[in-house]
Amino acid sequence: MVEAIRNVTKMLTGSYSLVILINNELFVVRDPSGIKPLSMGNLDGLTIVASETVAFDVVGAKYVRDVEPGEILHINEEIKSYTLPEDEKPRRAHCMFEYVYFARPDSILDGRSVYNVRLNIGKALAQEFPADADVVMPVPDSAITAAIGYSRESGLGYGEGLIKNRYVGRTFIMPTQTERETSVRLKMNPIKSELEGKSIVLVDDSIVRGTTSRSLVKVLREAGAREIHLRVGCPPIISPCYYGIAMATKKELIASDKEVEEIRKILGVDSLAYLSIESLLDCIGIKNGNLCVGCLTGEYPTPLPNNIAKYEANRC
């Protein structure tokens, strides 16, 4: 089985994590670039694996370690580890968007606390792009930690201006523009008493299409916010993700063909600033050579399929 899995991995390109159960034997595989996270835990002698370490916390298991990129685990009465030959291993390319948005803040990815990374992002935003404002507010929930970091570094107070409806899913992956715009109103409700007459620093984790940001700004203005200074913890997303994140086609990405000032006008904010790629790399603590930043640069860690144009056309 191990040899068969090795042969299959030679034929696969991209991101994947596999858990294969054959009779009483478990085989665990992480893609050679380690694009997506995969971790191993232990619960009273029972070996378990999960994409995020918070799964271990829920069941009372202990986090043991990350499954290494290109590693094959054979789990039975004992654990045996196999790896691809060194000459067959591509460079590591952990997904930066897991740290910025997708992973839960209480997870550990490749030995790094997601919470600490997001605190660092907020602090770096405050250092690079300070604002003369009354209060720092997050776009809940994924930007809360970065907003706390911005508040601590800037000395501005932290507050809540938006309350999230827990029963509405992620808006940027909804299939149509109409659904996305309607869901934003359902998803976020303003606290007018916290917003009226205030100049706010609004911290968000990322801007994809701009639909959510533009609608939120309108909601905040209607609730009485005097000034809105938007600070974004992810650099401009200019290219789609082909490794499992439904992030839209290039022409739908607001930053793919627009400068920051033009985006600012479209969103209707008083100022707009994105964290730089260099600062993001410092905040994560992984060098660019070992991170996938394809959606930020258009340069991907693996070859793309020849029919990628047809693929994008079908997604529109």
CA distance 37 to 17: 8
Give yes or no for residue 181 having a pLDDT over 90.
no
- pTM assigned to the model: 0.89
Superfamily of domain 2-90: Aminohydrolase, N-terminal nucleophile (Ntn) domain (3.60.20.10)
- At 313 the pLDDT is 55
Per-residue pLDDT at 183: 66
| 53-72 confidence digits (pLDDT tens) | 999 999 999 999 999 999 99
Residue 228, both tokens: 């809105």
Output DSSP code: residue 239.
S
Please say whether the beta carbons of 147 and 138 come within 8 A: yes
Q: What is the mean pLDDT of the chain?
A: 90
Domain 96-315 has CATH 3.40.50.2020: yes
Tell me what pLDDT residue 287 has: 79
Q: Give strand ranges (E) for the chain.
A: 17-22, 25-30, 39-43, 46-50, 62-66, 71-75, 79-83, 94-95, 108-109, 112-113, 135-138, 157-158, 162-164, 188-190, 199-204, 227-232, 271-274, 291-292
137-154 per-position pLDDT tens digit: 999 988 999 999 999 999
| Interval 230-251: pLDDT, tens | 999 999 999 999 898 776 688 8
Task: Give residue 226's pLDDT.
Answer: 97
- pLDDT for the residue numbered 272: 98
Residue pLDDT, tens place only, 76-97: 989 999 987 766 678 899 999 9
Every domain of the chain with CATH number 3.60.20.10 lies at: 2-90
Q: pLDDT above 90 covers what percent of the chain?
A: 73
> What's the whole-number mean pLDDT along residues 7-34?
92
Residues of the chain with CATH 3.40.50.2020: 96-315
Under 8 Å between Cβ of 7 and 19: no
